[in-house]
A and B are shown apart, each in its own frame.
Chain A
């Protein structure tokens, strides 16, 4: 596996919340203005710390949603029994302060210098770091061909819907909806499976680089199928979240 050293101490800093965008009923994008952000690469994440007035603190990691060079943003999905995500999506307001540190991670990262076709495969809020990659590709004017296969439960659950719908020029977005489909739906229906992947992913002969992000079982199934289609394991980068 290739390695890129990331060194230096990550210190906590207090950022101001500069904008909040509601993406879906349960998902918000939070734009932040940290005083000393060292920059990030597409696919990295950061740590957030909340502190109650009695000193109790809770920390979580979130994928960075914005491209390198853009104002820093995270996209957060509210988890029903969560401790931090309900606060970030329901309570937090523009002007509030939020403690964070980062960026973190260096393997699940896309660099424009890699000229391989990019295969992005997302389940639910797993689309967040992949969105950073697509925006990064757009901002640097890369002509690397990219595909995003994005699985959501329903059309209203789709995050970044308008934005993803507008990609042209070398980007193809393929949708699948697992639970229900709107009238006239022309995308895929049902969970990502071998047949869907065979029809939609770059053939292994084009030496693609794949990024898969989503719930554990989703990632396990998709990664397994990509190996079956001839993708070498070192060209399949994964990020999993949540329980089984």
Chain B
């Protein structure tokens, strides 16, 4: 039971009627804050690829042009950052991860997303399949800005946003779960915002 903070009256900025869209401990932001551990990488599009790998082997790889030629979807989703801001109704364009996984024969229970700059994050495969995740390259009608993860980031809106790896360059198929970058620093292995799985042990 939390002690009452003397004199504190909440001033929630959640739009009326949208409380149910906000996971516990989150607040709505109209900005689009940026959180990254290092400098923003700038990979030229001619050098960009997206790969699905397993045990060091590349099973399938797409160039930027090949990725753009795949069927893309526009999705409008709420996103939730572990640092407590949520942004409601964000509009993205990208390729469903199902479309990519369908083109490789292998299937494993886990994936590790990897990015330019060395960032990684781990996810159960069932959380990036079944229409729940995209490789997104468009945001609000335009290209995705570099500081927000462009040219392309993973979009997994039902988990805390650090799972939506910026500057994503591929998925490593894994038989066993292994912590990614933030997970190694004490953040939760799964990261369900509705269960407030922010840190290890939550």
Chain A residues in contact with chain B, CB under 8 A?
Answer: 1, 3-10, 12, 14, 49-53, 56-61, 81, 83, 87, 91, 96-99, 104-108, 216, 219-220, 223-224, 226-227, 233-234, 236-238, 240-244
A-B contact sample (12 more), CB < 8 A, given A4-B184, A51-B2, A233-B117: A1-B37, A4-B185, A5-B185, A52-B8, A83-B13, A87-B5, A97-B6, A98-B5, A99-B5, A223-B38, A240-B33, A240-B34
How would you classify the secondary structure of chain A's contact residues: helix, strand, loop or mixed?
A: mixed
Q: Is the CB of A59 within 8 A of B84?
A: yes
Cβ A87 vs Cβ B202 within 8 A: no
B8 and A6 contact, CB distance less than 8 A = no
- In the complex, the answer to whether A99 meets B3 with C-beta atoms within 8 Å is yes
**Inter-chain contact B200/A233, CB cutoff 8 Å:** no
Interface residues of B in 33-59 (CB under 8 A from A): 33-41
Which residues from chain B contact A4 at a C-beta distance below 8 Å? 184-185
Contacts of B13 in A (CB 8 A): 81, 83
Please measure, in the bound complex, the distance between the C-alpha atom of A105 and the C-alpha atom of B6, giving whole angstroms.
29
In the assembled complex, the Cα of A49 lies from the Cα of B41 at a distance in Å of 34
Tell me the complex Cα distance, A86–B21, Å: 26
Shortest beta-carbon distance from A225 to chain B in Å: 10
Bound state CA distance, A237 and B117, in angstroms? 12
Tell me, rounded to whole Å, the shortest Cβ–Cβ distance linking B119 to chain A. 8
Question: Can you list 5 A-B contacts (CB < 8 A)?
Answer: A5-B185, A7-B186, A9-B202, A223-B39, A238-B36
Determine whether B107 belongs to the interface, using a CB cutoff of 8 Å to chain A.
no
Place the interface of chain B in its size category: 35 or more
User: B residues bordering A, Cβ < 8 Å?
Assistant: 2-13, 25, 27, 29-41, 83-84, 117-118, 147, 181, 184-186, 199-202
Q: Which residues of B contact A238 (CB under 8 A)?
A: 36-39
- For B25, give its contact among A1, A52, A59, A243 (CB under 8 Å): A59
Other-chain contact of A104, B11, B27, B199 (Cβ < 8 Å) = B199
CB of B118 within 8 A of CB of A242, answer no
Contact B185 A3, beta carbon cutoff 8 Å: yes
Cross-chain contact B201 with A51 (CB below 8 angstroms): no
Considering the chains assembled together, what is the distance between the CA atoms of A49 and B40 in angstroms? 31
A202 to chain B, nearest CB (A): 16
Q: B5–A50 contact, CB under 8 A?
A: yes
Chain A residue numbers with a CB within 8 Å of B29 are 243
Given A107-B185, A234-B118, A237-B38, A51 and B31 touching (CB < 8 A)?
no
Q: Which one of B6, B31, B40, B184 contacts A244 once the chains associate, using CB atoms below 8 Å?
A: B31
Note all chain B residues with C-beta closer than 8 A to A49. 2
Q: Min CB distance, B13 to chain A, in Å?
A: 7
Contacts of B12 in A (CB 8 A): 56, 58, 83
